[in-house]
Every structure is written in structure tokens, then in C-alpha cells.
Amino acid sequence: MLPDKKNDAHGRLRRESYVTALTPDDEVDVTLLIGPGVIVRFSINYRTFDDIWHEVYRVVNHHGFVHEQRLWRDNVPRPVPADEQNVDSAVLIGMVLRRIKREYQSYKTWFRDAQQRKQ
């Protein structure tokens, strides 16, 4: 997993992106916007492939609070679980990645079930 690093025009912030394959058809991408000594913004996205890539689950700290979107349900941002609130961003990212690795098969099943119900 090699980072994609980009600086803003002034070099004060840098963007890093990582993609980790869970299986050939499942992956997690992490995008970080990093300032001096702090993660300013992050997004973590779990995707699965079924003819095309589908975004299934995400956790971001955009819009002023850390929230998750369970895309098999809807696009509504919901606060992360209580044990993941008010946690340092670097620690939280590790917690979320471990949870996704543990739960991605359930997320994929729920997503596919929801897709079938829409047909």
C-alpha cells in the first residue's frame, strides 16, 4: 500500500491516499488531509465489486463531526458509535479499519440484500 501524497499550493497541507485490498473484490480506501502535526480531515470508504465498484460504508469527519454512512440503508450521516466519539483521529482511523476488516462481509451482505429489494 503506497501513499499518494499531494501538497496544497502553499505546502502547508498534504493529502495522502491509501488503498488496501481485503479480497480481489473488496477494498478500503483512506484519504487524509494532514496539517502540521494533525490530521485535519479524513475519509474511510469500504467498496465492493459486482460488475462495477459500489461504495458500501464510509466514516468521515467532514461537515463538522465524525459520522458514518451505512449506504445499504441510505446516505444519511449518523454519529459513530459512542466508543469512537471524541477519540484522536489517528486512533479512530485504526479502530474503524479494524472494524471494517472484521465486519465487511456483513456490510456486503446487507448491501446486496438492499440492492435486491430495490429491484
Q: Break the chain into its structural domains and give their ranges.
A: 4-118
pLDDT in tens, 37-75: 899 999 999 999 988 999 999 999 988 789 999 999 998
Q: How far apart are alpha carbons 87 and 80 in whole angstroms?
A: 11
Q: How confident is the model at residue 6 (pLDDT cuts 50, 70, 90)?
A: low
Q: How far apart are alpha carbons 100 and 97 in whole angstroms?
A: 5
Q: How confident is the model at residue 11 (pLDDT cuts 50, 70, 90)?
A: low
